[in-house]
Amino acid sequence: MDLAGKTALITGSSQRLGAATAHALAAAGMRLAIHYHRSATAAQQLCHQFNQSGTEAVAVQADLADWQQTESLLAQVRQQLGPVQVLINNAALFDPGGVDTTSQQVWQQQMAVNLQAPFILLQQFARQPELQLSDSVHGKVINLLDRRVVRPRGGHLAYTISKSALWAMTRMAAAELAPRIQVNAIGPGAILPAPEASDEQFLRVAAACPMGRPGTPSDITAAILFLLQQDYITGELLCVDGGAHL
């Protein structure tokens, strides 16, 4: 797909990997919908930066834990930017907790944001009239997962289960929606420290992978661009984790 002039919705894109993805897609000539939940100032500043440099960008708000708000998100974007050709499900919660310690609240929130919201958005994305009658690639979806779906580890039970279920949904949707929509996934490794992790913890985890070091946001955005520009790959998980899934 030629990305220039196409529209992308990126969830959780006011900061961290979402913002890095927005910059990469803007450089590719795309129009952007910057989704945020509470980070209104950061989202508006990012959009202002893009618009000043010639990239059309709008900020759209929704609580992805809320079914109705999530269901209306794509309509917000279509109203302002027209049909959406690219959906990047980036937003996620990453709360700690094991079998004995995961609370009902944590479980429900992780499932709502990490799994339910991507499903709702994928469904709304696929229902766009412009994508319904196509017999060739006209839409692309990338779900940000985690290398834990390949090699689970303790400590983030609800998160890992929600991402593993999202990986199953990625494959099922890829088979059902082909050839008009491609659905793929990326499994980041140690790219940025988790909010609750110290720099020391982060570097220790990164050093344990075969490559022996952390990755960078540009490693993820390069993988995203690769998948968006390929028209014969669907239902795949690309682990960008320095080999940590091995």
CA distance 136 to 85: 13
Dist. CA 136–CA 217, nearest whole Å: 31
- Are 173 and 122 a contacting pair, CB within 8 Å? yes
The secondary structure of residue 193, as a DSSP letter, is -
Contacts of 1 by beta carbon, 8 Å cutoff, 6+ apart: 85, 137, 140, 228, 229, 231
Distance CA 109, CA 101 (A): 15
CA atoms within 13 A on the CB side of 123: 11
The residue from 50, 125, 159, 167 that is catalytic is 159
Pairing type for strands 181-188 and 237-240 reads parallel
Q: Is 159 a catalytic residue?
A: yes
Amino acid of residue 184: N
> For 131-157, b where at least 16 C-beta lie within 10 A, e where not — what string?
beeeeebbbbbbbbbbbbbbeeeeebb
φ/ψ of residue 212, rounded to 5: 75, 20
Catalytic residue numbers?
159
